[in-house]
Amino acid sequence: MNEGLNTVSGAVSVSGLVSIVVSLFCIWLSWWALQNLKLDLVIRNPQGTQGKLLQVLLAIVLGHFVAGFLLDYLTWSQMIRYMF
């Protein structure tokens, strides 16, 4: 019975680690993509503290949504094997 608990605990740990890595990668990717955005058309001082903070927050929000999609897609693709 203890072996089953260790297996479940290991699977949850790996799942959590994969989620963290995917989320951080997507946030970094969003930050990189936002560097090409001309924020000076929307923000008064994009190089200031508030402009950079807005860029970081946008990267986090966008990265979170992209990571959520990728993790959901990964989960759904793993569920397909139970269909047959």
pLDDT bin (cut points 50, 70, 90) of residue 18 is: very high
Q: pLDDT tens, 22-66? A: 999 999 999 999 999 888 888 888 788 998 999 999 999 999 999
- What distance in Å separates the CA atoms of residue 20 and residue 59, rounded to the nearest whole number? 15
Number of domains making up the chain: 1
When mean pLDDT is compared across 1-5, 34-38, 40-44, 69-73, the lowest value belongs to 1-5
Per-residue pLDDT at 21: 96
Question: At 63, which amino acid appears?
Answer: G
Q: How many residues does the chain have?
A: 84
pTM: 0.80
What lies within 8 Å, CB to CB, of 56 at 6+ separation is: 31
**For residue 46, what are the domain limits?**
3-83
